[in-house]
Structure 1
Amino acid sequence: MSGFDSNPFVDVNPFQDDSITQATSGIPESIGDFNPFSATETGNSSDTTIPISAASSQPAILQTSVEHSPQAAAAAGQANLIKQQEELERKAAELEQKEQELQNRKNNWPPLPKFSPVKPCFYQDFEEEIPEEYRRICKRMYYLWMFHSATLFLNVLACLAYFTANTQSGVDFGLSILWFILFTPVSFICWYRPVYKAFRSDSSFSFFFFFFVFFFQVAVYIIQAIGIPRWGNSGWIASISVLRANLAVAVIMMVVAGFFTFNIVCSLQRIFLLFVHSKYRRTGASFSKAQHEFSQGVLSNRTVQTVAADAASSAAQGAFAVQGN
């Protein structure tokens, strides 16, 4: 039992083994004095040491963005102004070019031959001046005016035939010539050109002027279609009155009366009057806008201003003269 009570580590030292002593015998004796942070051991890595207090005396600052100096802001503003000025100059040059083109543009309506002493008075181009969404209705109004003019010319021929059948109807023939000469250019200027200008420039004043005149034109169509005797119109009453006397003349006059009636239908139906009205409402025209355009276009005219000034001065002189007497 004495063998079990003894300490096995007292008599035997495990580090005294031959293999361990051979392995540890090759370690240099100076390893215990090695300092990795000394200047001599680091060699050429650093010649001086940085004190901790000096390295941590100031906090680190992170620069997130570069601040613009007043000079840079002024330069950017000046560049922006130069860019805006160049854009304005470009637009002014474009407007001047368009104005020159308008001034140099020659009138093309009515299409007269070159040898004619009368030159065209208006410029008309649906493809160039009228927007695509309004071009169709504007052309239809032009066709309506052409049909109106052709009806007035046929009315002259019908009244001439009526005059040959009845010599007492010379008044109708003379008035029919007057209506053709008068109403053809007046209708073109008073209701076709305003609706053309309205679609061309989106003018509220032109729209209102067109509606005002065109309602009177419809009333004239109704009178012409009725055909009151001695009014210069080959309408239904006049054609029926000559039916027993001359059938051929009555048929010609009835055809013209039918043309007048067709003018009424074309003017009142939606494809012309109501459709134009819907287009007018869609463009945003209003009575206030028409008043503004009228004040800008008419009251700012130099001729109107001169006439108004002369009238005011004449009135003032008259008032002083009355007070002097």
Structure 2
Amino acid sequence: MSGFNDNPFGDPFSDPAITSATNRPAVNGDSGLEDYNPFANQTTKPSNSIRGATNPPLTSQEPAVINTSSLGPNNKSYASPPAYTPSAAQTVSIDEIQRQKEELDRKEAELAAREERLRMDGITMKKENNWPPLPSFCPLTPCFYHDINVEIPVEFQRLVRHVYYLWMFYVGVLFVNLLGGLAAMIEKIDGGGGIFAFSLVSLIIFTPLSFVCWFRPLYKAFRNDSSFNFMVFFFVFFCQLVFAILCAIGIPGMGSIGLIVAIEWSSGAPVFFTIFIFLCAIVTASYALASFLVLVKVHSIYRSTGASMQKAQMEFTQGVLRNEHVQHAATAAATGAARQAMSQQFGSNNTNNSSGGSGLRY
């Protein structure tokens, strides 16, 4: 083991250069060999010196940027347009916009208040009757207030107006039937005088009755959403529709000029009279067809509103109970019945007493 001490080259760490390097004190924060870290100063990994397709060479030049804003449709350069500057007329201040908004709000509030005032005035104000439109010198006065644009909702005004025109058309049919009966009476047609008399009576009686019995209930039904008035309209108007169909057919003895009557009267009659008679029959048939269409239309609207027979009965009961005339009549009837019952009771008691008193004999 003494072979190490017998090294002919000596101790390699006893070299004076190495000894001075290891024993040199640290200057300016330099550490000795013991504290030396060979990896401490390597902050970045050395880049690969081999450049290729996957590792292109680094250059200090920035990539070229093409300004496409100065190129036209055909990649031709053109001068940029000047910046848009609004004119003085187009510039509106915020205060002006606010002022206009406040003015519009004020006008809207005024219109709403005016509409509410008009609505309240229409509710509280007593409406004057304006139908039928009679002249001022006539001693009679109108009986109803009739204004479709005011009392009928907007969605039903067109239908109610058409029904009103249908009523006017019905009056015209009655008048045409009167003229046909007059022409038949002049031509001395058998049955012409009877038709003329019936047409005259129908024109006088059915004109106001048709307005009161089926148009006015329909008017009030759409005005008040009343199921009871709908029921009245359906009943009366259906009966009139059946009568109009029979008149259009022209059954002899119905008092109307229909198809059968026109065919019978046209045989051997003058041409003008025949044409006029057939025109009367066509007018009557047109009214029957129009009445059928109106009835179907009103019934479809009635079903869509959710009305029913129970609602009509309820309205009728409430209307009867709230009617002042009905209340007075019921009160008078109940009072009379009570008085009669009391008088009968007292009368029977007096009779029994008198008979009993006369029978006591001693």
> Do the structures match in fold with TM over 0.5?
yes
Task: Say whether residues 1:219 and 2:242 are aligned partners.
Answer: yes
What corresponds to 2:254 in structure 1? 231
Give the secondary-structure state (helix, strand or coil) at the position aligned to 2:266.
coil
Larger radius of gyration: 2
* Partner of residue 121, structure 1: 143
1:148, 1:127 → 2: CA distance? 23
- Residue-by-residue CA offset, 1:233-262 (whole Å, 9 max, x unaligned): 112222222112423323222211111111
> For residue 258 of structure 1, what is the aligned residue in structure 2?
282
Query: Residue 309 of structure 1: CA displacement?
Result: 2.9
Q: Secondary structure at the match of 1:115?
A: coil
Q: Equivalents in 1 of 2:343, 2:280: separation in Å?
A: 62
Q: Would the aligned equivalents of 2:189 and 2:265 in 1 still touch at CA under 8 Å?
A: no
Provide the aligned C-alpha RMSD in A.
2.4
Q: Report the equivalent of 1:185.
A: 208
CA contact (8 A) 1:239 1:251 kept: no
Counterpart mapping for 1:114-153 below 5 A = 114-153=136-175
The 1:313/1:172 distance shift into structure 2, 3 A limit, reads: same
Matched with 1:278 is 300
* Aligned equivalent of 1:293: 315
Partner secondary structure for residue 278 of structure 1: helix
Letter of the 1:258 partner, please give it: I
Tell me the residue number matched to 2:291.
Answer: 267
Task: Give 1:282 deviation, angstroms.
Answer: 2.5
Cα-to-partner distance string for 1:132-187 (whole Å, 9 max, x where unaligned): 11111111111111111101001100000011112653222111100111111111
After superposition, where does 1:242-257 map in structure 2 within 5 Å?
242-247=265-270, 248-257=272-281
Amino acid at match of 2:187: A
How far residue 304 of structure 1 moved from its aligned partner, in angstroms, is: 0.9
Deviations 1:190-239 (A, max 9, x none): 11111111111111111111111111010110122122334321122222
95 and 141 in structure 1: CA distance in 2 versus 1, 3 angstrom threshold: closer
CA distance 1:218–1:150, shift in 2 (3 Å): same
Structure-1-length-normalised TM-score: 0.64
* Alpha-carbon distance in 2 for matches of 1:250, 1:304: 54
Per the alignment, residue 307 of structure 1 pairs with 329
**Letter of the aligned partner of 1:126 in structure 2?**
I
Identity of matched residues, %: 45
Please tell me the residue identity of whatever aligns with 1:259: V
Opposite residue 164 of structure 1, the aligned amino acid is I
Q: Secondary structure of the residue that 1:242 maps to in structure 2?
A: helix
What amino acid is aligned across from residue 246 of structure 1 in structure 2? A
Q: TM-score, normalised by structure 2?
A: 0.58
* 1:169-184 matches, cutoff 5 A: 169-184=192-207
Tell me how far apart the structure 2 counterparts of residues 236 and 187 of structure 1 sit (CA, whole Å).
Answer: 24
**Contact 1:148 1:263 survives alignment (8 Å):** yes
Shift of 1:100: 3.4
**Alpha-carbon shift at residue 312 of structure 1 (Å):** 3.4
Q: Sort the Cα spacing of 1:217 and 1:227 in 2 relative to 1 into closer, same or farther, 3 A.
A: same
Aligned residue in 2 for 1:106: 128
Residue segments in structure 2 that go unaligned for 5+ positions in a row:
1-116, 349-362
Aligned match of 1:210: 233
Which secondary structure does the structure 1 equivalent of 2:256 belong to?
A: coil
Q: CA shift at 1:95, angstroms?
A: 8.4
Distance 1:215 1:97 in 2: 38
Aligned partner letter, 1:204: S
For residue 256 of structure 1, what is the amino acid of its counterpart?
C
Gap regions ≥5 residues in structure 1: 1-92
CA contact (8 A) 1:195 1:206 kept: yes
Whether the aligned pair in 2 keeps the contact of 1:152 and 1:176 (CA below 8 Å) is yes
Counterpart-to-counterpart distance in 1, 2:295 and 2:277: 27
Aligned positions, number:
230
d(CA) in 2 for partners of 1:242, 1:281: 44
2:295 and 2:180 map into 1 onto residues whose CA distance is: 29
Higher RCO (Cα < 8 Å, 6 or more apart): 1
More helix by share: 1
